Structure 1
Amino acid sequence: MSSASSTIIRLNIGGKKFCTTIDTLTQRDPESMLAAMFSGRHTICQDSEKGYVFVDRDGKHFRHILNWLRGGVIPTLKDYEYSELLREAEYFQLLGLTDGIKASLSRRKEEEEMGTELTRIDIIKCIQSDRVRFRGVNLSGLDLSKLDLSLVDFSYACLRNVFFSRANLQCAKFRDVDAEGSIFHNATLRECEFTGANLRGALLAGANLQSANLQDACLIDCSFCGADLRSAHLQTADLTNANLEGANLEGANLKGAKLTRANLKGANLQRAYLRQVNLRDTDLEGAKLDGANLLGAIR
């Protein structure tokens, strides 16, 4: 047999016929059994009539092995097929393919676990650990009311229509979450981060949002009736149609906030930063504005 890398090799793997080259069989994984067989150091027995090298293995998945040797491609298979291919890869001592299959199985398992719906009981079990993160998880519709969820990281999660009523969420992170329609009634949200969050239509009446960061958040149609927003950061937040009647916004920063048709009746805006804010369509009946920075505000 010629040792040239371009030499065509005909293989009979358990009755299935394949055609490839020595270069394909030896280059990608030089330490494999296949590379050793066709390295020129060993005598290979061929069918004298048709020139096939016979290997007594199941040929069902050998095409995947050849495709990996040719281009490093890990096929997309069902779990049981991955197990079958893994056995063949281990037999031929193709360590790169073996590692690739195991990595694919691991990723699939992680994706399945992420897609599993969580229950209130699952959440309770999770928050008993030292560091809790639900980043990017879909928790839509769950009842998480009255739970201690302080310091939990919910960033990028889907929290649509979640019930957080009376929950302790102090210092929790809600960066870029989708929490449209969620209920935070009477929840503790002190120093929470809602930067870039979508809270459209959320109920935050009576919530404690002291020093919370709501910059760039979508707060359209939200209800903050009676909420404590002292020293809250609301820069460039969209509060269109929001109901802040009786809310305490003392010292809050509303620079660049959109307050079109917002209801601020009886709200405490003492020492609030309202510089250059458009208040023309805002209902400020009975609002306290003592010490507020209204320089350049449109009224």
Structure 2
Amino acid sequence: MKLVTRAQLGWPASAAPSQASTRGVKIHYEGTIVSTKLLTDHGLCLARWKAIRASHLANKTENYSDVAYNYAACPHGYLLEGRGLGKRTGANGNQSLNQAHYAIVGLVGSSGLTQPTNAMLSAIRDGIELLRKHGAGNEIKGHRDGFATACPGTPLYAWVQKGAPRPTATTLPTEDNVPLTDADLTKIADRVLKHDGVIKVPGAASSNPTWTLSSVQTEILTRLDKANASIAALSTANSKLVDAVAKLAADVGDLDPAAIVAELTRAIESVEVRLDVTDA
């Protein structure tokens, strides 16, 4: 478990009311736009968690004593302490719901970053098991269970309905949702540069030269996005070439080979396509 404590966040002990036990844990999401930049910058995750606490403390209507959740989970697999152990949550909707379950929020939203990573799911599972060791019962629910809300969003709630299993394979969030096992991803990682046993990705930012399997996955997805954009540009280029040939057929009486080459060359030079994808 990768735990970031309140002390590490620079927060004092929680002023939330104490509660020694609950029936279980409820899972939440942010229900707003969450930037996908969190996927590649853990510092942004910590900043967002601090901003959530600040906004809760500033909410005079709810009059929160602390950030509403017991814990948060970020895309990098860190469990971020909120109210922590033995504290009543303020997130489930009303006092009776808060007394029934502790609360963990995944740092995903209703748009932008909506798909929890396997690392995030594992961190949520870490939080569930930690809370169970300190008074939580076995129930795992979504915020929408018992309260009229879309929280925790479709992807997280589907996972909750399956019993919130700890992930055993890495899944690419593609349209077809094709699963990759850790062994598969290791083979992919083996194709990128390695130094002293530390995976380094060609073209990666120098500020983050070390990559876990999860971050290699994110890098691969980023490069696939670039490849798809380049393919679209190549498709446009192909259309221009077809138009150029059609123009030649219409405008050149005798199809002089030199004229065809010259016209095609001009068409090619007018299209700037760069495949900015490193062969990993």
Decide: shared fold, TM above 0.5: no
Higher helix proportion, which one? 2
Max radius of gyration: which structure?
A: 1
- If asked which structure has higher relative contact order (CA below 8 Å, sep 6+), I would say 2
